[in-house]
Chains A and B, each alone.
Chain A
Amino acid sequence: ETGVTQTPRHLVMGMTNKKSLKCEQHLGHNAMYWYKQSAKKPLELMFVYNFKEQTENNSVPSRFSPECPNSSHLFLHLHTLQPEDSALYLCASSQEGTGKETQYFGPGTRLLVL
Chain B
Amino acid sequence: GENVEQHPSTLSVQEGDSAVIKCTYSDSASNYFPWYKQELGKGPQLIIDIRSNVGEKKDQRIAVTLNKTAKHFSLHITETQPEDSAVYFCAASPNQAGTALIFGKGTTLSVSS
Indicate, yes or no, whether A interacts with B.
Answer: yes
Q: Using CB atoms and an 8 Å cutoff, list the residues of chain A in contact with chain B.
A: 4, 6, 31, 33, 40-43, 45, 48, 50, 55-56, 90, 92, 96-97, 99, 101-108
Most chain A CB neighbours (cut-off 10 Å) among B41, B43, B97, B105: B43
Total interface residues on B, using CB and 8 Å?
24
Contacts of A42 in B (CB 8 A): 4, 89, 102-106
Q: Using CB atoms and an 8 Å cutoff, list the residues of chain B in contact with chain A.
A: 4, 32, 34, 36, 41-46, 49, 89, 93, 95, 97-106
Q: How far is the CB of A97 from chain B (nearest CB, A)?
A: 5
Q: How far is the CB of A98 from chain B (nearest CB, A)?
A: 9
Whether B97 and A50, one on each chain, are in contact in the complex, defined by CB atoms closer than 8 angstroms, is yes
Known: A43-B89, A45-B100. A101 touches B95 (CB 8 A): yes
